[in-house]
Structure 1
Amino acid sequence: MSEVPAADNRGISSERALKRALQHLKDDRAEIIEGVIETVPPSWDHEAAADALREQIRTRARELGCVIGSGNLDLPGSPNWYVPDLAVVPADVAKGAAALLPADTLLVVEVTSESNANTDRVVKRRRYAEYGAPLYLLIDRQERAVTLYAEPGRLGYTRADGPHPYGAVLRLPEPFGIALDTNAL
């Protein structure tokens, strides 16, 4: 892991340079989490949970004119560059974009792994709220629970629905208006 460097003596923004460099990695996808570069190597079990959710929201996302993906999310002015497990984004906003802002999304989803569970539960939840992601769905595989966070603000989300154990039905609010089967996660 590497620390994000301070600005150099030529006035070049180290934040901008580092975030641009991450977009051009050849082999691994990487994130910057609170100034630390971390690779994103999800396991197949992790991917299966994300895929089960993707299948449940695919039809509604298409009806809304959105795409579902795991593209780059920039948090300007901070030492953060995230690659969420899933994000639902209007197709016209995503077209041609190398990175989006959390506020550009309709829903951001993180699936915990042993190595990053606390980051997803605490750090990313706070930062997604601070940067305006309207909905943040945390699929906590270690706790076998799901929590939907809504109503973002500078100090975090002001509403939480959960944690609900796997097997509970979780309703995504409008514009989705669908119920998720958490047994599939």
Structure 2
Amino acid sequence: MTPRTTAQPQMSTEEFEELARRAPELEFIHGRVQVKPVPNGNHAEIVTWLQKLCMQHRPDLWLYPGQGIAIETYREGRARPDGVLAPDEHFAGAGEWAAPTGVLMTVEVTSRDADTNRRDRVEKPDGYAAVGIPVYLLVDREACSVTVFTEPEKGTYRSATTRPFGAVVELPGPVGFALDTEKLKEYAD
């Protein structure tokens, strides 16, 4: 397919959803179909580690891995974050592409592919901010850092704090706990 601009999506949202039923690794961001890279073992360990920490600090919440989010206010997109923090049982009956309402935080763990910069550092933060998700946590294995994006306003996060692996990072309300990232040094590959 020839790449198109955001003014001319490659397909409609409905066409994408039909395609994604047969290929769940796909996302639809900025009107373009993208393939979410297959995570390696360290990628999966980071998500599991975050699930454990979220359970310890906020037992009323769950970090759902791979839950699809409809980010319709942002170019009729569909994203599948590595983790979506929401109240326990929040997505019961929601279907594959849930509304972002009630999501407290999205998490992305970078992969080793050519699209990581554009996808995880630019497009997804804009999409999550556009629908008002309060916190976006980016675990950047290439930079060995963690970035916490907060204060969504007019399609962008007004605040972004980056700290190296090993630092303690504050996840502000509504998440509301500190994240000691020392463990991430083991998964930096």
What is the TM-score normalised by the length of structure 2?
0.81
Shift, 1:108, TM fit: 0.4
Q: Which of 16, 19, 39 in structure 1 is aligned with 2:17?
A: 19
Q: Identity percentage over the alignment?
A: 31
Q: Which secondary structure state, in structure 1, belongs to the residue aligned with residue 136 of structure 2? A: strand
The answer to whether the Cα contact below 8 Å between 2:138 and 2:146 also exists between their aligned partners in 1 is yes
Gaps of 5+ in 2: 4-8, 185-189
The amino acid that maps onto 1:73 is I
CA change 1:136–1:152 in 2 (3 A) is: same
Match of 2:69 among 57, 66, 73: 73
C-alpha spacing 1:39/1:140, structure 2 compared with 1 (3 Å)? closer
Name the Cα RMSD after superposition: 2.1
Report the equivalent of 2:168. Answer: 169
Q: Deviations for 1:8-64, whole angstroms, at most 9, x for unmatched residues?
A: xxxxxx212322441x226x52212321231441111111122222211113332x3
Runs of 4+ aligned residues of structure 1 deviating over 6 Å after TM superposition are: none
Partner of 2:26: 30
Contact 1:117 1:140 in 2 (8 A): no
Question: In structure 2, how many angstroms separate the alpha carbons of the residues matched to 1:36 and 1:2?
Answer: 11
User: Corresponding residue for 2:112?
Assistant: 114
Deviation at 1:92, TM superposition (A): 4.5
- Judge conservation of contact 2:131–2:155 (CA < 8 Å) in 1: no
Say whether residues 1:152 and 2:152 are aligned partners: yes
Which secondary structure state, in structure 1, belongs to the residue aligned with residue 90 of structure 2?
A: helix
- Residues 86 and 108 in structure 1, CA contact (< 8 A), matched pair in contact too: yes
Counterpart CA distance in 2 for 1:20 and 1:94 is 20
Classify 1:175/1:121 alpha carbon distance in 2 versus 1 (closer, same or farther; 3 Å).
same
1:90 matches 2:94: no
Any idea what SS the aligned residue of 1:47 has? helix
Distance (Å, rounded) in 2 between the aligned partners of 1:40 and 1:96: 27
Structure 1: segments with no counterpart, 5+ residues: 7-13
Deviation of 1:155 after TM superposition, in Å, equals 3.5
The letter of the residue matching 2:141 is R
Spell out, residue by residue over 1:70-108, the C-alpha distance to the aligned partner (whole angstroms, 9 max, x if none). Answer: 210112252521110111112343111112233431110
For 1:100, the equivalent position in structure 2 comes to: 98
Relative to structure 2, which stretch is displaced further, 68-77 or 31-40? 31-40
Q: Could you tell me which amino acid in structure 1 is paired with residue 26 of structure 2?
A: A
Give yes or no for contact 1:149–1:160 (8 Å, CA) kept in 2: yes
- What amino acid maps onto 2:17 in structure 1? K
Distance in 1 of aligned mates of 2:2 and 2:135: 30
Q: Indicate conservation of the 8 Å contact 1:2/1:37, yes or no.
A: no
**Alpha-carbon distance, 1:164 to partner:** 0.3
Q: Tell me the CA shift for residue 135 of structure 1.
A: 0.4
SS of corresponding position for 1:18: helix
In structure 1, the residue matched to 2:44 is 47
